[in-house]
Each structure stands twice: as C-alpha cells, then as structure tokens.
C-alpha cells in the first residue's frame, strides 16, 4: 500500500502529527511519502498512491488558502481515496466544517473522502499554550494517532459530522482568506532586532518574503500562516493588526510532568480540553 501525505504546516504541528500516522503505517508495511505544500513544490504524484492524506492546520475555521488552492490544482483522479489529518489550537467542534471547500473541489474531480481526523496541538497564533499543555497535547496525539492510522490502513470510514453552527462559522470567517493578502502587507521586521538570517524568507510557503538590504520585505501573497514570525529566532516580526495574537518560538513537547491535574490545563475552554484529553487516553485528576 502506498500512502502519499501532502502536508502544510507552518510551525510544525501538523507535520509532527502526520509523522505519527506515517510511522504507524510504515510499521504496518505501507510505503509512505510526504510532500510539503509550498508554492515552489512540484505536482504531487497522486495517481501513483493508493491513499492520499492531506494534512493542514485549521486557519479561521477553514483549511488554509494554499491547501484549498492545491486541492483545486490536483489532477482528476477517479475513485482516489483520501483522508484529512488536521490540527487546531482548540478542541471545539466549530472547527468540524473546515474541509468543506477543499472537499467540494476534490469531489468534482472524482476523489472519495473516507475520513477526517482532528488533533489539537498548541496554538501558533492567538496565545501561547504553556509547556505543560504542549506536553499533554503531544502525548494525546501519540496515544491515538496509531489507531487512527490503523483505520486508514484498513480503509475504514471515519467521517466528521459538522453541525450547522460549524458550517455557518466556517462560511463567515472565510473572509479572513480574502483579507489576509492585505493584512499581510502590514507585517514588518524590527530592524534593531532582525539579524538578517533570512529564515523567514526561506520558510514562507508562499515565497512572499524577499530579503532587501538585509531585512525582510513582505509581498501581497500572505496567507497568515505565521511561519515567518513564529520561527523568527529574535522575535523581530510584527504581524500587523494580528500582532496581539503573535506567538513566537518552538514548543518543547517534553513528556508530561508527573502529577499534572486539571488545574494545569489552560483556563480558556478548560472543560473541553479536559474532555479531549480523556478521549485521547489522558485522565487528569481534579487535584
């Protein structure tokens, strides 16, 4: 069995989770290839794969614009089975409709969706999760990704049912995709902090950053993924009107500390995260 992972990941979360799936599928004897979604990528050889897995981070309750565009560009492939593996910062079901536009584009070309898996990973925008939260979220993914990968291996159906609220929210917040190229023009590097390493330009999946006189200059193709600002080694990049939500720097993902309780879970939607952890094999005590 050949499994092709086509993945977008700005701060590494989705790539890490897809890696867990690939590791398990390889253990089962599958051949796995992973292609990263970037503007300069070559067309993925979907026809050669038995199963396609599309990985992406939820952006404003939707798949990111570059992932939707890639789906629209894929060749027709009748009866090609695909699954979605997505990550988001919060475990809310309002994220459940995020694949709709992409699914519609793929269905028109004959692709058949067999399922969708939603993993929660630390936020790369809005606020920084604590190290304990990052550890718990990563442990939760490690606990359940192997059995979800087994479902892919067995060709099982694992559809996510989106509520009318999720569908409506996805529709309304899709405006973010239209606004991002304009908002992206307001991204700026602080000349005092910038060390001219060029990492932002190298990591931008849209090739939207050019180094000019040693500082990054931002073009009009931003999708707001934050690969530039999240990975900046000196936290030099401000992200325009979204700057209050900026998160900088890789998470540690150490194994969870002994004795973590519900109090160590972020106060924002604490009950929902606690339920997510329970459903993923981590039962946190009250005290």
Q: Which of 4, 6, 14, 246 binds ligand FMN (CB under 6 A)?
A: 14
* Listed ranges 3-11, 99-107, 233-241, 257-265: which one lies at the site for ligand FMN (CB under 6 A): 3-11
Among 12, 19, 44, 184, binds ligand FMN (CB under 6 A): 12
Cα–Cα distance measured from residue 208 to residue 181, given in angstroms and rounded to the nearest whole number? 10
Query: Of 74, 121, 140, 204, which one interacts with ligand FMN (CB under 6 A)?
Result: 121
Least distance in Å: CB of 75 to ligand FMN? 25
Residue 17 to residue 29: CA distance in whole angstroms: 19
Within the chain, strands assigned E span 2-7, 31-36, 51-57, 81-88, 112-120, 187-189, 209-212, 215-218, 237-239
Q: Hey, CA dihedral for 55, 97, 186, 123, is it positive or negative?
A: negative
Tell which residue, 258, 263, 238, 260, has the closest CA to residue 248.
Answer: 238
| The only residue of 89, 184, 205, 256 in contact with ligand FMN, by rule CB under 6 A | 89
Binders in 220-239 for ligand FMN, by CB under 6 A: 224-226
CB atoms within 10 A of CB 227: 24
| 65 makes contact with ligand FMN (CB under 6 A) | no
Q: Which is nearer to ligand FMN, 83 or 153 (CB)?
A: 83
Q: Is 253 left (phi over 0), alpha (psi -120 to 50) or beta?
A: left
Residue 125 found at the interface with ligand FMN (CB under 6 A): yes
Which one of the spans 8-16, 27-35, 150-158, 211-219 is the region binding ligand FMN (CB under 6 A)?
Answer: 8-16
Quote the least distance from Cβ 34 to ligand FMN, whole Å: 13
* Cα dihedral 31, 36, 40, 46 sign: positive
Binding site for ligand FMN (CB under 6 A): 9-14, 57-61, 87-90, 95, 121, 123-125, 224-226
């Amino acid at each position: 069995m050949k499994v092709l992972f086509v993945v977008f990941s700005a701060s590494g979360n989705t790539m890490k989770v897809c890696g867990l799936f690939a590791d398990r599928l390889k253990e089962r004897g599958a051949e796995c290839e992973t292609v990263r979604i970037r503007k300069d990528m070559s067309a993925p050889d979907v026809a050669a794969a038995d199963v396609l897995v599309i990985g992406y981070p939820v952006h404003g309750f939707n798949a990111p614009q570059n992932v939707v565009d890639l789906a629209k560009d894929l060749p027709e492939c009748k009866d090609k089975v695909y699954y979605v593996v997505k990550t988001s910062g919060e475990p809310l079901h309002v994220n459940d409709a995020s694949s709709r536009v992409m699914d519609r584009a793929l269905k028109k070309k004959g692709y058949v969706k067999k399922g969708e898996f939603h993993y929660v990973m630390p936020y790369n925008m809005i606020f920084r999760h604590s190290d304990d939260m990052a550890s718990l979220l990563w442990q939760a993914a490690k606990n359940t990704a192997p059995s979800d990968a087994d479902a892919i291996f067995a060709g099982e159906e694992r559809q996510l049912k989106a509520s009318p609220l999720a569908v409506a929210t996805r529709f309304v917040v899709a405006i973010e995709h239209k606004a991002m190229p304009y908002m992206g023009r307001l991204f700026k590097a602080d000349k005092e902090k910038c060390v001219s390493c060029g990492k932002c330009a190298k990591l931008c999946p849209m090739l939207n950053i050019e180094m000019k006189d040693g500082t990054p200059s931002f073009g009009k193709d931003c999708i707001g993924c934050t690969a530039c600002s999240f990975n900046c080694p000196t936290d030099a990049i401000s992200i325009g009107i979204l700057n209050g939500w900026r998160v900088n720097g890789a998470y540690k993902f150490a194994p969870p500390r002994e004795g973590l309780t519900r109090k160590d879970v972020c106060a924002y939607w604490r009950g929902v995260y606690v339920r997510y952890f329970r459903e993923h094999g981590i039962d946190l005590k009250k005290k």
